[in-house]
Amino acid sequence: MSGHHPIGILGGTFDPIHYGHLRTALELLEALELAEVRFIPCRIPAHRGLPMVTAEQRLALVRLATDGQPGFVADDRELCRDGTSYMVDTLASLRAEVGPETPLCLIVGTDAFRELHTWHRWQELTHWTHIVVMQRPGVLQPLPPVLEKFITPQVIFDVLALRRKPAGGVLFQPVTQLNISATHIRALLAQGQSPRYLLPEVVLTSIHDQRLYRPAPIPDSATR
């Protein structure tokens, strides 16, 4: 039995979405033969301050970026829930939707993966999903021991193993190294420089049209 094609889940702040998300997601869609990749922007991030752009605006940019790519789905479930957006709740709701047999693959970059043991109810995550870790440029430090100890027995090396069970495996999957971050894109925009070619043109046009990520206006009192 080849099993069901897994569903990929890429959660994030997407503040804004960029080619570091999109290219790696496409590579995983193809390499792991995923049925789809769900891009799930968080409403209220658990591990950082509130973004300056609203969740609705970040979701709209995700929609623009993913539209037209077969297999890419913008998923608004975290915007429909109150309170902090916890991945464990998102996974439970996806599991209820797809049933017990379809494999889920939570996709995380190495930076996010190294922090996994700080996530809400983190040891439950692999009960709901596999985890696929993609190397991100510059993140090479060893894993925190508590995380290393937890994941070692769950590591799998074969892509096909993702289809044999619905959850519980951890796969390290190589992807093209793109040193692109939303932090850098926000910094460029705040300085009035162009982030062109780091993110889709349609996203950048919308950012400009809505005047997002602009430098904070100088208060009147400071100019007097």
Q: Which of 9, 94, 134, 162 binds ligand ATP (CB under 6 A)?
A: 134
Name the one range near ligand ATP by CB under 6 A: 9-17, 62-70, 115-123, 199-207: 9-17
Give the range of 7-15, 76-84, 143-151, 199-207 binding ligand ATP by CB under 6 A: 7-15
Q: How far is the CB of 224 from ligand ATP (least distance, A)?
A: 35
23-43 burial, b at 16+ Cβ within 10 Å, e below that, comes to ebbbebbeebebbbbbbbbbb
- Does position 8 interact with ligand ATP (CB under 6 A)? The reply is no
Q: Which of 6, 8, 9, 12 binds ligand ATP (CB under 6 A)?
A: 12
Question: Taking CB under 6 A as the rule, which mask of x and - marks residues 172-211 in contact with ligand ATP?
Answer: ------x-xxxx----------------------------
Give SS3 for 48.
coil
Q: Do residues 200 and 39 lie in contact, with contact meaning Cβ atoms separated by under 8 Å?
A: no
7, 8, 9, 15: residue in contact with ligand ATP (rule CB under 6 A): 15
Nearer to ligand ATP by Cβ, of 8 and 166: the residue is 8
Cβ atoms 20, 39 nearer than 8 A: no
Residue 142 burial (C-beta neighbours within 10 Å; 0-12, 13-18, 19+): exposed
Single-letter residue type at 189: L
Contact pattern for ligand ATP over residues 72 through 111, marking x by CB under 6 A: ------------------------------------xx-x
Let me know the angle formed at the C-alpha of 31 by 27 and 35, rounded to the nearest 5 degrees.
90
Say if residue 132 is exposed, middle or buried (CB neighbours under 10 Å; 0-12, 13-18, 19+). Answer: buried
**Quick one: which of 112, 167, 199, 207 contacts ligand ATP (CB under 6 A)?**
112
CB of 139 to ligand ATP, least distance (A): 8
Kindly state the DSSP code that residue 178 receives in the 8-state scheme: -
C-alpha span between 25 and 42 (Å, rounded): 17
Interface contacts to ligand ATP, rule CB under 6 A: 12-15, 20-21, 24, 108-109, 111-112, 134, 136, 178, 180-183
